[in-house]
Amino acid sequence: VERYFGAHNNAQGIAVLGFETVAGELDLLHARYEALHPSLVAAPPHVYADGTRVLDVFAYYRGEARVSEADPGTLLRFVERQTAATADAVPLPLPGLVPVPVAFEPGVQPAYCDHWVSNVVSRVGFLRTLEDTLGFVPKVDFNAGVVAAGEAQIESTVTGNTSPLVTTSPSEALRDRAQVFLPTNNALSPVGHVHWYLEELGQGIQHIASRVESLPEYVQRANDMRAITGEGFTFLNIPRTYYGLLEPALLIHGGVDGELLSPGCPSGLSEAEALAVIEALRIGGLIDQAGAMSLDADEAAVDTALGEVDGYRGAPAATRAMVQNVLRRSCYVNLWKLMGDQLTEATYLSIVRNKILIDVQGEDVLMQIFTSVVLQRKPATEAPFLEFIQRVCAECDGPDGACTKPIKAGCGGFGIRNFLTLFLSIEVSKAMLDREKAASDGHEAETAFHSKRIEMFTDQLVEANPILTEISDCMTGEGRALNAGDADAAEKWARRKEAANLALAKCSQKYNALMAELREAGW
């Protein structure tokens, strides 16, 4: 404990990542570390009275692998039981633990480990160390490269093993612990949360991610319990622009592409009528200045707000129904463009209300949400946080969600589209706190400065979204081509991905420069 605090500026955090090994593997791991990375071995394997053996190694070097000292702050712990693990074995294979019966309240969902994210000085060095010792390799179809928000830039790579599990059971895939994914970040600029994490706390686990069966229900319960008790997780602020805004085109076309039209309403509103509807809703307080529709606006409230608007007042019932449907869809239209009718409207609205992020990779879907920091010593300092996810796999498209093919480990990816959203939401949350403090102190110029920061981060997210979609598609295509042994197709996808990464870099550079100008101008 003292060693951990000494390496992390006396801040709390995640000190150990523990992994269970199969019988006989611990000696092999120990030998690999002693041969290739001896300075990372914290101590020889410890043997407990029940025969359990434990090997502790330091996770990172202070700098580059093999040429710098071991960083004593974070341990990888490998546990080998005397007997092989079975389905009836104690879930946590640590000596001295005794299982006890437990009964959970209705509605409680278990959460299962999915991946663990590190912030490190040398990303390449850490990846090579894991490959040398554990055989972990980067996952081509899950890696995107450089991610930036304003002046902050990071690079991220997902590495891991290859799970031996082959199953068509969603519940078995949910519970499985055989697959290990370790996303790893390093900072490329002297600003941003990864840089500040390393500067304030040192290398370590930035966040841990756990998967659940139904993320909307999981988060809704967490939010309800916090409202009832005043305690519990809070989640990062996600701008409503991520989910969708009410644009005139939606009313003019009757949806994104006319999908909300009907025989009774074969065409949408005129441009003048659409603008009048939006203005009336704004006056009525049902949409904000950005164009985000209130999630609490029911049909009666809309009828009242639009009671004097041409194109709605006195219009056929089918036209009014189309307008009502468009208004609701505008709340989640960006998600609908990704997933169409795969989710019900109620589920979409629950996702928006609970600020859940959605990503699509191929036909797989990833839902994810991030908590605010935990174990924080004082406000405005860096600290770890938690992530919760739900993986919706394309293989499970049969009746009642039955899987017709083996489920791919990590289906849905790691949210490449949401890397930037997470990055920006962290920066936006900080800017919002800065703006709130400036406003409470009566500093109008500083308040306006932080408002511009928020606006700039949001603009970057909107501009980057289609580029991120292209990168995600290319990652999926490259991974599938490699799995099929089609090197030519994989190379084509790789070139497309590189072009998209260059476009993302150009977008990042643009906002990097704009943010630098804003910072230099100050308030």
Q: What is the CATH number of the domain that holds 24?
A: 3.10.180.10
Tallying the residues shown for the chain, one arrives at 523
Residue 162 forms part of a structural domain: no
Q: How far, in Å, CA of 50 to CA of 89, rounded?
A: 14
pLDDT band at residue 403 using 50, 70 and 90 as cut-offs: confident
* Contact call for residues 238 and 417 (beta carbons, < 8 A): no
- How many domains is the chain partitioned into structurally? 2
Final residue in a domain of this structure, among 299, 316, 331? 331
Write down the residue that tokens 């019966």 correspond to: 101
| pLDDT score of 23 | 87
User: pLDDT digit string (tens) for 355-391?
Assistant: 999 888 777 889 999 999 999 988 878 999 999 999 9
| pLDDT score of 141 | 52
Residues of the domain holding 265: 245-331
* Contact call for residues 386 and 205 (beta carbons, < 8 A): no
Residue 143 forms part of a structural domain: no
As given in the structure block, the two tokens for residue 377 are: 């010593």
pLDDT band at residue 92 using 50, 70 and 90 as cut-offs: low
| pLDDT score of 143 | 58
Residue 410 forms part of a structural domain: no
> Does residue 77 or residue 92 have the better pLDDT?
77
Residue 337 forms part of a structural domain: no
User: pLDDT digit string (tens) for 12-66?
Assistant: 999 999 999 988 899 999 999 999 999 999 999 999 988 899 999 999 999 999 9
As given in the structure block, the two tokens for residue 405 are: 């093919």
| pLDDT score of 417 | 67
User: pLDDT digit string (tens) for 141-198?
Assistant: 555 567 766 677 888 899 999 988 888 898 999 999 889 999 999 999 898 889 999 9
Average pLDDT over residues 275-290: 94
| pLDDT score of 236 | 85
Residue 267 forms part of a structural domain: yes
Q: How far, in Å, CA of 73 to CA of 57, rounded?
A: 11
* β-sheet bridge partners, residue 387: 209, 370
- 171-178, Cβ contacts within 8 angstroms, sequence gap of 24 or more: 173/391, 173/393, 173/407, 173/409, 174/112, 174/211, 174/213, 175/112, 176/112, 176/409, 177/20, 177/112, 177/113
3-state DSSP assignment of residue 370: strand
pLDDT band at residue 437 using 50, 70 and 90 as cut-offs: confident
pLDDT band at residue 464 using 50, 70 and 90 as cut-offs: confident
Final residue in a domain of this structure, among 69, 84, 99? 84
Final residue in a domain of this structure, among 68, 84, 100? 84
Q: How far, in Å, CA of 458 to CA of 455, rounded?
A: 5
* In the predicted structure, residue 480 carries a pLDDT above the cut 90: no
User: pLDDT digit string (tens) for 132-151?
Assistant: 999 999 986 555 567 766 67
> Does residue 409 or residue 415 have the better pLDDT?
409
| pLDDT score of 87 | 46
Q: What is the largest CA-CA distance in the chain?
A: 82
Residue 371 forms part of a structural domain: no
* In the predicted structure, residue 206 carries a pLDDT above the cut 60: yes
| pLDDT score of 7 | 94
| pLDDT score of 497 | 86
Percent of the chain clearing pLDDT 90 (strictly above) = 58
Going through 194-276 in order, the beta strands assigned E by DSSP cover: 204-211
Residue 352 forms part of a structural domain: no
* Contact call for residues 123 and 185 (beta carbons, < 8 A): yes
Average pLDDT over residues 227-234: 93
pLDDT band at residue 228 using 50, 70 and 90 as cut-offs: very high
Average pLDDT over residues 430-444: 86
User: Residue 389: how many CA atoms within 13 Å on its side-chain side?
Assistant: 26
Residue 30 forms part of a structural domain: yes
| pLDDT score of 327 | 98
pLDDT averaged over the chain? 89
pLDDT band at residue 337 using 50, 70 and 90 as cut-offs: confident
> Does residue 311 or residue 323 have the better pLDDT?
323
| pLDDT score of 357 | 92
